[in-house]
Amino acid sequence: MILLSSFASAVCLAFVIFLTRPLHIQFTAKGHGNAAVQSSHRLPTPRIGGLAVILGGFFGAFTLDATTFNLVSFLAISALPVFLGGLGEDVGFNVSAKMRLVLSFASALLAGMLLGAWIPRMGVPVLEILTLYTFPAIILTLLISGGISHSLNLIDGLNGLAIGVSIVIALGLMSVAVSVGDYQISYILLLIIGALLGLLVFNYPFGKLFLGDAGAYCTGHILAWIAILLLNRHPEIAPFSMLLIFFWPIADMIFSIFRRYRSGKPIDQPDRLHFHQLVMRALELTLLSRKLRGLTNPLATLIIVPLASVPIAAAVMLQNNDQMAALGFIAAAILFVITYNVGMVLAKRFARHGTRARS
């Protein structure tokens, strides 16, 4: 019932946005034509699909009991700063990436105050000092929550990618919640999954509506705080297992920052070198043509979502083992960097062969 109600609400809202496209497309398609450096799409498409997810989830929440509804309300209220910043960018007010990041920290601070929760521990002795005292624990929580929120927006570059990764993250968190008997958190995650599936109908494979900054930031924020709540409510859960669940967007963000810093570019400057763009480019150079981006775009998502699911599966298995969860995160990071660099080498090689073949 919970899943169905949020799904139906999100589908109806997304359908309204899709039908009214001619009325708002001049405002809501900013940055999703050929003009945007990071764009992987050719046609202007509304970026306000996140409204369907957020409102669909909220309407679906009326099927919950009063206590769980109050918790959803706190999460929704805390997401308001980053939601408004993301929505402003989606409709063309040019809210900078730095400002959106600041707003994600503001949302994290508001969530901590409303929920009375910060990251309680790290599970690794050398890092425990970060959570021994309130102030560093608050700073750590703001950085991780804001970083996850921002990172989910960075992978929103292909049809179904951010939504698909968010769904498998929610499924991973729900598996952990069920295993520790926290059914209240499980119900909230069902709500989120239903709303995301509702937008996915319009987003994948043809990209009729996009999640947008508001949707990506809010989804990342709420999922991050569900993980933080699980850590506070169940001390047996390994903190690094929660980080491992969010590994893919975190890794992509950190590696992007390092890549831009190393090349001397501003770290907030968009580029076309994210992992998902590398996969799509590889498909264009090998199996398909750049002219067939309508196929390479969703096909790249089909490749990446299962890859993103691997560390999530590992996190669920290692949820009660602090040391192994931390080692799993390190191993996943090493594999990510190796895979990316091998992909870059192969992409350059295929590009050179393609250039010689055309000449």
CA distances in angstroms from 189 to 11, 184, 268, 307, 315, listed in the order given: 17, 9, 31, 21, 17
What pLDDT score was predicted for residue 110? Answer: 98
22-36, 63-77, 128-142, range with the lowest pLDDT:
22-36
Question: Mean pLDDT across the stretch 6-25?
Answer: 96
Binned at pLDDT 50, 70 and 90, residue 37 comes out as very low
What pLDDT score was predicted for residue 41? Answer: 53
What pLDDT score was predicted for residue 289? Answer: 60
Residue 35 confidence (pLDDT) above 50? no
d(CA 280, CA 274): 10
What pLDDT score was predicted for residue 34? Answer: 45
Taking the model in full, what pTM does it have?
0.93
Binned at pLDDT 50, 70 and 90, residue 141 comes out as very high
What pLDDT score was predicted for residue 253? Answer: 93
Residue 152's domain comprises 2-358
d(CA 3, CA 189): 9
What pLDDT score was predicted for residue 202? Answer: 97
d(CA 173, CA 229): 11
Question: Mean pLDDT across the stretch 49-60?
Answer: 95
d(CA 95, CA 87): 9
What pLDDT score was predicted for residue 269? Answer: 73
Residue 349 confidence (pLDDT) above 80? no
What pLDDT score was predicted for residue 31? Answer: 55
Helix (H) or strand (E) holding 82: helix 80-90
Residue 354 confidence (pLDDT) above 90? no
Binned at pLDDT 50, 70 and 90, residue 92 comes out as confident
Total number of domains in the chain? 1
Question: Mean pLDDT across the stretch 163-189?
Answer: 98
Question: Mean pLDDT across the stretch 59-74?
Answer: 96
d(CA 304, CA 300): 6
What pLDDT score was predicted for residue 33? Answer: 47
28 or 259: which leads in pLDDT: 28
What pLDDT score was predicted for residue 292? Answer: 63
Question: Mean pLDDT across the stretch 275-283?
Answer: 87
178-182, 215-219, 250-254, 285-289, range with the lowest pLDDT:
285-289
Residue 344 confidence (pLDDT) above 90? no
CB 163 within 8 A of CB 239: no
Q: Which two tokens stand for residue 196?
A: 């995301």
The pLDDT mean for the chain works out to: 90
Binned at pLDDT 50, 70 and 90, residue 29 comes out as confident
Helix (H) or strand (E) holding 185: helix 183-203
Question: Mean pLDDT across the stretch 88-103?
Answer: 92
